[in-house]
Amino acid sequence: MNFIDINKNIVKEFPYTYGWLIDFEKIIMKDNCDIIIRDTDHYFDSIRVEVSSRLGDHETSWKYYSQIWDHISTHCCKCGSSNGVKTIGEYTLCSTVCRDCAEIMRISGVPIVGPELQLIPGLKHQSNIPMIKCRLKALDGHLFYKYSNDLYFQEGQFRVRNETSGEVVKLAGVYTGLRDWKGERIYTGDIVLAEDPVNRKFWGFIMFGNQWDKSDRDISPQWSGFCLAHGGGNFPSALCWASRIEVVGNVVQENEYAGPIPSDNDYESYSASHKESYKFSDENNLS
Ligand SMILES: [Zn+2]
């Protein structure tokens, strides 16, 4: 795949389609064709996928281009579903989404990226479900943990597989793969307290994604794919600015938490009822 006038990171915007294009390119390479992703100067559909023939065989490249177009205009670029697919805005390649992904993209605040974007439509469509450890909230409010292959979606609700009918749950965050300095696993929606090397503190609820470019403040590259969101339309902080992090709470325990993804609204209602200032657990409470 060739990228022309465009940053290769753009593929994060269309994970399903990118995977499909990689497989499709293997087929068309046997016919001496390559796939190009290009930012054109045109206003309409400016991020474009093209097929070029190394032999100048326009008929063949056009045939493959039509097949690509048919596929991307009928499949969600994020999860691959063909359920209620629509193109939002001008860019067919990266904004053709299914009904369920469109719902997630409408959640206010910092854009949702990361595994929940595949998990939730996947559970709803029973396909392409990423294997991930999930935090769940039972109807009585208690939190527990299951892998995604123990979950399913039926009659408008997420459920845990069991011997009888399946317990109704709210999705309440997924494992980030990170642990705090005490070894505790961190899930999306956890409130994380962070400090930088000169002991300046910052905190927020943790999300996948980081909208900051590389900067001198980055000191923990292993955390560069995450941010701490602050709600209220504020720009999130990059987690990689921190030298130490600790989980100090979560937004999903609140009664108002509706799910399926911890969001700005949840953080705002959490903050309204928790006016404390946060401390690391080894800090002197009197200081
Ligand atoms: Zn989708």
Digit-coded pLDDT (tens) for 82-106: 889 998 877 778 889 999 899 888 8
**If you measure from the C-alpha of residue 102 to the centroid of ligand 1, how many angstroms do you get, rounded to a whole number?**
7
DSSP string for 93-119: HHHEE-HHHHHHHTSSSSPP-STHHHH
**If you measure from the C-alpha of residue 276 to the centroid of ligand 1, how many angstroms do you get, rounded to a whole number?**
39
Domain boundaries, the chain: 2-96, 110-174, 177-273
Digit-coded pLDDT (tens) for 149-187: 999 999 999 999 987 778 999 999 999 999 999 999 999
**If you measure from the C-alpha of residue 255 to the centroid of ligand 1, how many angstroms do you get, rounded to a whole number?**
29
Side-chain-side CA neighbours of 22 within 13 Å: the count stands at 6
**If you measure from the C-alpha of residue 129 to the centroid of ligand 1, how many angstroms do you get, rounded to a whole number?**
12
Inter-axis angle of helices 15-29 and 58-72, nearest 10 = 160
Instruction: Report how far residue 228's alpha carbon sits from residue 224's, in angstroms, rounded to the nearest whole number.
Output: 11
Digit-coded pLDDT (tens) for 6-20: 888 788 888 899 999
The residue assigned the tokens 């032999």 is: 55
**If you measure from the C-alpha of residue 216 to the centroid of ligand 1, how many angstroms do you get, rounded to a whole number?**
36
Q: Are strands 33-39 and 2-4 parallel, antiparallel or unpaired?
A: parallel
pLDDT of residue 144: 96
Instruction: Report how far residue 78's alpha carbon sits from residue 34's, in angstroms, rounded to the nearest whole number.
Output: 22
* Per-residue tokens: 160: 């845990």
Digit-coded pLDDT (tens) for 109-154: 888 888 998 899 999 988 888 899 999 999 999 999 999 999 999 9
